[in-house]
Chain A
Amino acid sequence: MRRRLSFLICLMMTVCIWACGVTPARPSQILAKEPPSLKVWFSQNDSENKVLEQIASRFTSETGIPVEVVPRVNVFNAKNDLVNNAETDARPDIVFMQAPDIGELVVSGYLLPLDIGDETRSRYADAAFEAFRYGGEIYGAGYSIELYGLIYNKNLISEDHLPETWSEFFDRAEQLTLKNADGTIAQYGALLDCKDVWFNYPIIRNFGGYYYGVDRNGGYNPFDIGYNNEGMIQYCEFLKEKMRTGIILRGQNQSQSEISAEFMEGRVAMIIYGLWTASYWQNAGIEYGIVGLPRRDDGTMSKPLATVNGFVINRFTFHREEALRFLAYILRDDHQQMLIEAANHHERKTGLRTPVNLSVINSAYVQSDEILRGISEIGFDCEPFPNIPEGTIWYNYTSPALKSIFFDGVDTKTKLDELSESIRSDVQKMNIVPEPVSLPWYAWLILGATVVTAAWIYILSRRKRRPVLYRLHYHRGETMLAWGLLMPLLILLGMFYLFPILHNIYLSMTDFSGVNLKNYSFVGFYNYQQIFTDGLKGFAALLAWTVLFATLVVTISFIFGTFIAVLLDKIDARLAKIYRIIYILPWVVPSVIILLMWSGMLSDNGSISKLLGIADPLGQPWKARFWTILVMIWFSFPYYMIVAYSFLKAIPKDYYEASSVDGAGPVRQFFSITLPLVFRAVLPTLIMGFIMQFNQFGVYILTGGGPFSGRLGEPGATDLLITHVFNLAFNSKRYALAAAYSVVIFIFVSVFSVAAMRVGKASPDRLG
């Protein structure tokens, strides 16, 4: 019988591996006969999509090439979705995406280099194509640009008084800042977020700091980081001084959205921002204008960081020529005009898309609107955000680093050195080409010894546990029927659980990464070596906190949920119905949105701190941990309440009758009858719950892992094992390392769950 079982499992696995190995029939031969149809992934903007469809049908009637315009939910997923779909039957030919996303795609060979003629180039602002330049080639054609400028409230500052240079900007800002008698601020001359490096980048450049330097060929050099030079130190010291004047956001967790909100209240004269929330300002009746940024103090132009959005071509397209032709067709001036007008909702001129085509910028449509004209003209002098794969590394580090400089009184130079070091170290990690690592002989020895010991212990424990008395004889027909009935489930589990796990283990032994998305190769145990050599700093404390967190959340939610279920069982049924409807809400409403609400409520000027008088609930490590656990219990107790409720009905009433004869009160009954019985029945669910909390990503939405205190890149107080290691691996885009981490965590949690199952099932009641 046992042999039959292992045979069945083997068969299942082979079937599922075979199923995955079968690649879908290549459609190239089939499609060669049909007229080629282009697929264009475009925008989330309805009217823009419709206009592109019009353009496409014109193109079709002129050339006979059918084009399908596919609306997309947002532009941010374009990179991942292209990687996923580039070689499938659903492959797009032309994709609308952000220029900063192209680096990874180019390095891994997903994009087609374009040959843009001088005539085309002369019709566009420089950024349109320069943003898509990578290693001397151009990979995309810009269509719109996201940028920011100096936005001012016309009632508070007139256009003639706007500052010409950054020093004038700060002088004017101080002059216009008015305080009430009690010292609170009535009006801000300007409002800046000192932790931000995106909107403040032109000011940083004014002082001499920079993100990545540029090499001789005009490409970015990610090893040249200008975040700890003299200029950057001066910038920080300067802003520190300005904090006293009130033009810097006070709260350490506040961000750009608070600045926009203050501007909407009409209390700020100048901000450095874009038009993303302009409709709010309009609705609030603010009269605002947008102009280019103040010049640098040496008289040169300040350039805002910009994100260019444009079209790229999938290298795996079957219709290269047709795609290039359609791209050129889109880039025609008249078509750009149609698209931009539609994207800005024609006469509403929403400012949703800022053009880069010169003829559009100079058209009456743009020029007649002060705001559109203002922002379009800024586009001539902007600095496209680095499109190299290393571009996103700063996200992880700058904000915590600046936070500790400005709010925790850490020495500026020390922290900035640390910031640059952290960025540089990630850049280095990204660019290492891993050498295949095989296990040394002693590792094999240890591994072998462990397996043998485990097997030996297993056999020993089996012999003890199974006296001859208990040996069951299974009926062959019954076994066949049972496995037959379970087959659909097992096949599905094999496909959607077993295969991904095996594939993930394979990935963990490759050099799959952000700069090697496609042609990854086997590197043995390299990633595991990385984990066990340098990935273990602070690991023990992190593990301890994760286990504590998961245990507390599951235990308390389970006891509390069961308690509530019992309570609701005792009270009037109609009322219980109402309570139950209320209590299940945390369980049924999407958790992402409520997590966002909680993080808003727990922020330092949110409702929790105002209602309960707790200052900054997420500010200190243990306070933040306390609230994190509380919020997670809030989420999971309804689930256990409902589970417990359905099990309550299965507890024989005699148990209670017998115990009340013995004089047990309701509290003792709860702890000695209800809880243990429900516990026994739901043990597997509790173990699952523990696993889910152990791998809980929701905490990250709530706290972002913070508050941070140690060095940059070290875990924050509420970081869990999984969020931290994934952050580490993903910030340097080492996806194979992330896979290796998940395998290690998988092994750890499996051992734990097996142990828990054994302990929980220690009772002899297995005959059922």
Chain B
Amino acid sequence: MEKTAQKKKKKAVSLITHLFLICLAVVVLLPFVYIVLISFGRGVTSVSTVIPSSFTTRNYSQLFTETKYLSWMGNSVLVAAGTMTVAVIIVFTSSYVLSRMRFCGRHKLFSGILLLQVFPLVLSMVSLFKIFVAIGFLNKLSSLIIVNSVFSSAGLILVAKGYFDAIPHSLDEAAKVDGASRMTILLRVIFPLALPILSFIAIQSFVISYNEYAVASAIMSEGVDTLPLAVGLQSMLHGQFGQNWSLYCAGAVLGSIPMIVLFYSLQKYFIGDLLAGGVKE
């Protein structure tokens, strides 16, 4: 009897959990449903329209025929992938150093890295631009990769260092006793354990770079087909197309596909119980 009661209780709990999660999903999805509706809408002139009066797929075809959508998206994916690679390398080595190596000034340095980011950098574009000019960064996609990877890794080191601290030191010590070199420890012991956080870093740096607007629009002042997507999309709102909400939303819907694909393909690294074997001491 007691067992069935417990089972019932368990079932009720899981039902409530799912109900809650579904409600949350609805709340999360609401604005996106809206974006999708508008992207198929015809003659949407304002965002407060609840449901467009008629639907069409013309907005999507217009993206490819009348704008440089494909090259924008290509540029953005290229820059974001580059940023992702550079950021993962920088963050992985730097947070390993900050977390594992005993050296003079490491606590100060860590606080320093945090403090540097207190400054609202986007607001001092004038100062940033000075340095872009000085090092010849104008109108190059490669400069966006460098800038974006600095911006994203500065913040991500803070997360990654915390994660590295949580990986038990006994593991590296054991490997050391076995005679492994530092490089071997880094690649064979730490790297597999750090995969969840590395995939997080990969996604976050991709997202930051993919959505970055301020620096990109300042640096890429020449040409239309060399723009990244975030800047190109904005031109749908004020530009040759007037305030074309439908076109803008269509662009945003297609534009989020690379990120969703990336997240989906990296998701298994979050889920896999990678630390389970190692943590039990």
Contact = CB atoms under 8 A, between A and B. Distances in A.
A interacts with B: yes
Given A589-B32, A597-B47, A688 B239 contact: no
A623 interface: no
A417 B249 CA distance: 42
Contacts, number: 358
Contacts of B174: none
Interface stretch (A320-328, A418-426, A577-585, A706-714): A577-585
B117 to A, nearest CB: 6
Interface residues of A, number: 140
Contact of A586 (B28, B94, B110, B111): B28
A606 B50 CA distance: 6
Interface string A41-61: 101111000000000000000
Interface string B105-135: 1111111011111111111101111110111
Interface in A490-529: 492-493, 495-501, 503-504, 507, 512
A738 B93 CA distance: 37
B131 A20 contact: yes
B173 interface: no
Nearest to B162: A681
B34 to A, nearest CB: 5
B156 to A, nearest CB: 9
A297 B170 CA distance: 90
Contacts of A598: 31
A41 B162 CA distance: 48
A543 to B, nearest CB: 16
A474 B275 contact: no
B24 A583 contact: yes
Contacts of B259: 588-589
Contacts of B85: none
A478 interface: yes
B135 A493 contact: no
A160 B204 CA distance: 62
Interface string B174-194: 000000000000000000000
Contacts of A768: 99, 165, 169
Interface in A551-576: 564, 567-568, 570-571, 573, 575-576
A599 interface: yes
Nearest to A479: B103
Given A45-B240, A73-B239, A581-B260, A681 B165 contact: yes
A158 interface: no
- Which 9 pairs between the two chains have the least Cβ-Cβ distance? A600-B47, A684-B158, A503-B127, A257-B46, A482-B103, A479-B103, A500-B127, A650-B166, A588-B259
10 contacts: A84-B129, A90-B138, A90-B222, A352-B240, A474-B103, A571-B14, A582-B25, A583-B28, A647-B166, A768-B165
Given A493-B154, A500-B131, A652-B279, 19 more contacts: A73-B217, A90-B222, A258-B46, A260-B46, A478-B102, A489-B157, A492-B90, A503-B131, A577-B271, A581-B260, A596-B47, A606-B47, A606-B48, A634-B27, A654-B280, A684-B162, A685-B158, A695-B123, A753-B114
Interface of A: 1-2, 4-5, 19-24, 41, 43-46, 70-74, 76-77, 80-81, 84-85, 88-90, 257-258, 260-261, 264, 276-277, 279-280, 283-284, 352, 472, 474-475, 478-479, 481-483, 485-486, 488-489, 492-493, 495-501, 503-504, 507, 512, 564, 567-568, 570-571, 573, 575-577, 579-594, 596-601, 603, 605-607, 610, 634, 639, 642-643, 645-647, 649-650, 652-654, 680-685, 687-688, 691, 695, 697, 722, 726, 735, 738-739, 742, 745-746, 749-750, 753-754, 757, 766, 768
